[in-house]
Amino acid sequence: MAARPDTLHDLVEKAGHILVFTGAGVSAESGIATFRDALTGLWANNDPQQLATPEGFIADPARVWGWYQWRRQQLLSREPNAAHRAIAALAQRVPKVTVVTQNVDDLHERAGSDAVIHLHGSLLTTRCFDCEKPAQVPVDEVPLDGAAITPPSCGHCGGMLRPGVVWFGEALPEDAWQRAVAAAQSADLVLVVGTSGLVYPAAQIPQLAWEGGATVVHVNTEPVPVAAEREHSLVGPAGEVLAELLG
């Protein structure tokens, strides 16, 4: 359903609780490679799915740990963009804003958003592969062409530490999922930014909000099919569209 930007602007101004649901398209505007982008150097010759499964980690833990250290280095060299900043600024205008993201970076937090719900975990956290206890590990200097690095050991059980992200075949963190569902059930406006809504179960969150009576606005570089009332699609870079919609 098409809608004039000024009409959607009015919805923002009248909202009591806005849920912002973000995907890889938001971070891509900060130069963060998406999962399916071609990677450089050593990793260009590897299937990313082999680097994002428990089985892949067990098969070659040094290669997987090195790849994630490279990703952490990439993240720390990037900055929040206009979309992140526009989302953070919403908290000054709306009684309640909840940010739920599929991204594993910390760009929302660095832009000023509080209590971000990470459905797929975080690159900047680690936990034990065996006992699952969290651990703090500094990000080592890693060449951008990649390097195999033996994972550190868990201080509790001696097992290997792994990245604190959700891999293929793993369940979403239960606490994050329940918080996201609760936000979806109470929001009256949902901004779905930088995601086509194809990754499940995370993509259920906007649908749950719509079923509860919320208006859903998709912001993406490609049109998102909408076939229902209270659902709209705005096309363009997230930073530009959100600056106009939320400005």
33-77+123-165, CATH topology level: SIR2/SIRT2 'Small Domain' (3.30.1600)
Q: Where in the chain is the domain with CATH 3.40.50.1220?
A: 1-32+80-120+172-247
So what's the pLDDT on residue 41?
Answer: 47
Mean pLDDT of the 16-39 span: 84
What is the C-alpha separation between 35 and 48, in angstroms, rounded? 7
**Does 226 count as an annotated binding residue?**
no
What is the C-alpha separation between 180 and 165, in angstroms, rounded? 17
Residue 216: pLDDT above 90?
yes
Give φ, ψ of 75 to 5 degrees: -60, -45
**Does 157 count as an annotated binding residue?**
yes
Could you give the count of Cα atoms lying within 13 Å of 45 in the half-sphere of its Cβ? 5
Mean pLDDT of the 218-242 span: 90
* Contacts for 183 with CB less than 8 Å, ≥ 6 apart: 17, 19, 98, 100, 117, 205
**Does 128 count as an annotated binding residue?**
yes
**Does 200 count as an annotated binding residue?**
no
Q: Where in the chain is the domain with CATH 3.30.1600.10?
A: 33-77+123-165
So what's the pLDDT on residue 141?
Answer: 56
Mean pLDDT of the 78-98 span: 95
SS3 6: helix
Amino acid at position 155, single letter: G
The CATH number that domain 1-32+80-120+172-247 falls under is: 3.40.50.1220
Q: Looking at the whole model, is its pTM more than 0.85?
A: yes
* Ordered alpha helix ranges (H), the chain: 5-14, 24-28, 54-59, 61-76, 82-89, 107-111, 174-186, 204-211, 238-246
Could you give the count of Cα atoms lying within 13 Å of 150 in the half-sphere of its Cβ? 4
**Does 183 count as an annotated binding residue?**
no
List the catalytic residues. 120
**Does 190 count as an annotated binding residue?**
no
SS3 234: strand
So what's the pLDDT on residue 145?
Answer: 56
